[in-house]
Amino acid sequence: MKKIFLLMLLPIITECGPSGEKNQMSTISAIVVENTTARILETFPEALLAGRGVEQAAALWRPQDGTPGEFTEFCVANFAADTTARQMLFKKLETAFEQFFGTANQLSVALKKPVQLEGDELTEIDYIMGNYDPSSHFSDDMFGNKSAFISVLNFPNYTLAEKDSLGKDWTRLEWAYARMGDLFTSRVPAELKQEMSLALGNAENYIAEYNIMMGRLLTENGERLFPDDMVLLSHWNLRDEIKSNYAPVPNALEKQRMIFKVMEHIACQTIPECVINNPACEWAPFSNTVFREGEKILAPEEADRRYGHLLDICRAEMKLDAYYPHMPTGIIRNFEGGMEISAKEIEELFIHLISSPQVGQVAQLIQQRLDRPLEPFDIWYDGFKSRTALPEDELTAVTRKKYPNPGAFQNDMPRMLSQLGFPSAEANDIAGRIVVEGARGSGHAWGASGRWEPARLRTRIGSKGMDYKGYNIAVHEFGHNVEQTLSLYDVDHYMLNGVPNTAFTEALAFVFQKRDLGLLGYSQQIDTNTTLDIFWGCYEIMGVSLVDMYVWQWLYENPGATPALLKKAVLEKAREVWNKWYEPVLGQHDSPILAIYSHMINSPMYLPNYPMGHIIEFQLEDYFAGDMKENGRNLAGEIKRIYTQGTLVPQLWMEGAVGHRISTDPLLNAVEDIISRHMREL
């Protein structure tokens, strides 16, 4: 039965891309490829990769690049056959690419500062410059001067299956060669890259300004439940406010129900447009009525603006399809290409967990703790974290005093790293490569691309200082920055910098975030509650991720969709997933709440990285609690060892990290053991 719900992605790969693309494709025939390879082998009979490199270069060669004869002469003249020549070429290319990527990243950081950081009121030119992509012409330029062809010819691309099977026997240098081969696999025109950058930038700006004025929300009796100055960004802060109300605070359940209703309106686009980021209006979300100066007013709904941004991104993505002959859909490029795990494999992992009997068992435990039937917003139950025993106001008082501004957090980072076990000099070195800045939105971590620039930690800090929510997010982003720094500055080859995909950086961010109270000076343990917290977090975000994946499948099946049709489809997918795997546990038929995540709008197909990150996080935490201690290693030392492996494929990286491939079974087995012990104790 589960197979019915698997994504059928492969049939989508045909007949994609704008019309008129055939005249832009290669004119190099198979005979020319064969003859060119033979010419190289005449001179260099040991050149085993010659055929692969010539074939891939031919697929990217266009009429404007030269005649077939010129192609052959170019390949013969530029093939580096012996080991010394190949290593020298690699080093020269690697150095040049680091200079370009690092400089382009610095320019992008500078241009986006006005829209991403706190500051003056934004004007139209800020948005225009912020949406500019400094690297949009890189591919065109490299193919134009033929540097890209030299790279492809000598460092060809390997498929995911080849990397996964052959990579276990590769040296570090051979892995670096393989990653060089990933750079030039398509020729996307600069104008299409810029169109994608514009669509993503517009969506990001839309989300960054999507604030709800909580002090202006009303019950049906006209009462206010939230502080007058509370402003929460959707969806992150709304979700976190639900979580904070599992602590013993006044009106906790009533607050959670109100926030949930606000979220439903956002997902369904029934929210009155005038209440978004606007303190002038009061809003009663249960009746969806709006008041201005005590008088009820007519307030039109936001309509389809949210889904219009998603559709713009999809249209820009589809225009790229024809330029990726081996990955001709955005779906394939994101999973097999970007994450290097197939969408089908990810979907099976997720369904295996959310359909497991352990979900119902943990839900019963939560219900016992809450002493009430579960409700849909309990998908964000936060009671397995020790901080929920502490009122958030108390924690906020501590964080505001400790971190009145970004500089205070930055100055405290060396201490935090030392507390995690990093030697003092190393803690200072890592922290010295991270800059903390106040964000307009919820915050994010922006890594460096050149080994001379810092990583950036962006977090929201109010006029009174950093509240606990902001601190918790900042510690998460700090984990990202530590990964970004270690995996750039401490990796042996620049072409191996980074991690296999963003799930792996999310995993370390979660490891840091779990220790936020300990870093504040409170007692904190990583125990069975941590396991249950990771499990329930997986259950929540896996459903959201499946909706995201199914929506993109629908988009490719309906390329002519309108924003209104897309909104209908998103809500249908959200309700289908909810009714099958969440309604039996949390109730409410046809809940649309799985469509609330802002990532769906401004970060296409990013959401699956979070549950993958949780799975990896558990395997890391399990390793930290067991094997690591048995071998006398400390947390900081293992973090450094693990996160300097570089961009191996995910499964090989995981085997190198903890000795096992990625799987939900260790987490499910651990939860089963915890539940069994709990039942025996009753």
How is the chain split into domains, by residue range?
Answer: 17-185, 206-305, 307-361+526-681, 391-494
Q: Enter the tokens of residue 272.
A: 């009155």
Q: What is the dihedral of CA 198, 201, 203, 206, to 10 degrees?
A: -130
SS3 for 167?
A: helix
Tokens for 169, please give them. Answer: 């026997």
Handedness of CA 403, 405, 408, 413 (dihedral sign): positive
Both tokens assigned to 143: 């193919």
The pLDDT of residue 388: 55
Question: Count of alpha carbons within 13 Å of 128, Cβ hemisphere only?
Answer: 3
| Helix, strand, coil abundance in the chain, percent, nearest 5 | 65, 5, 30
Would you say 454 and 501 are in contact if contact means Cβ atoms under 8 Å apart? no
**462 - beta bridge partners?**
465
> Cα separation of 434 and 436, whole Å?
7
In this prediction, residue 643 carries a pLDDT of 97
Rounded Cα distance, 65 and 26, in Å? 10
The model's pTM is: 0.81
Outline where 61-189 has alpha helix (H): 68-78, 83-116, 124-130, 138-144, 147-154, 160-166, 172-180
Give pLDDT, residue 629: 58
Cβ(26)–Cβ(60) under 8 Å? Answer: yes
207-211's contacts with Cβ under 8 Å and 24+ in sequence apart are 207/234, 207/441, 207/598, 207/601, 207/602, 208/115, 208/116, 208/233, 208/440, 208/441, 209/276, 209/277, 209/440, 210/234, 210/266, 210/276, 210/277, 210/598, 211/276, 211/277
Output the pLDDT for position 628: 58
DSSP string over 364-381: HHHHHHHTS---GGGGG-
Q: SS3 for 87?
A: helix
Report how far residue 198's alpha carbon sits from residue 128's, in angstroms, rounded to the nearest whole number: 8
Residue 416: Cβ within 10 Å count: 21
Continuous segment of H or E residues that includes residue 239: helix 236-244
The C-alpha atoms of residue 429 and residue 426 are separated, in whole angstroms, by: 5
Beta-strand relationship, 231-233 and 455-459: unpaired
Write the DSSP symbol of residue 122.
P
The answer to whether the CB of 231 falls within 8 A of the CB of 213 is yes
Predicted pLDDT at 299: 95
Contact of 160 with 185, CB cutoff 8 Å: no
Question: Residue 417 in contact with residue 431, Cβ under 8 Å?
Answer: yes
Amino acid at 46: E
Note the pLDDT of residue 5: 27
pLDDT along the chain (682 residues), means of 10: 29 31 66 95 86 94 95 96 94 97 94 87 89 86 96 95 94 97 90 91 92 97 95 94 93 98 98 96 97 95 94 96 88 93 94 98 96 98 75 92 95 97 97 93 87 93 90 94 97 97 92 92 79 94 97 97 97 98 98 97 92 92 75 86 96 95 94 89 68
Location of structure tokens 């509240």 = 467
Rounded Cα gap, residues 333 and 328, in angstroms: 7
Q: Give Cα 234 distance to the centre of its chain.
A: 17
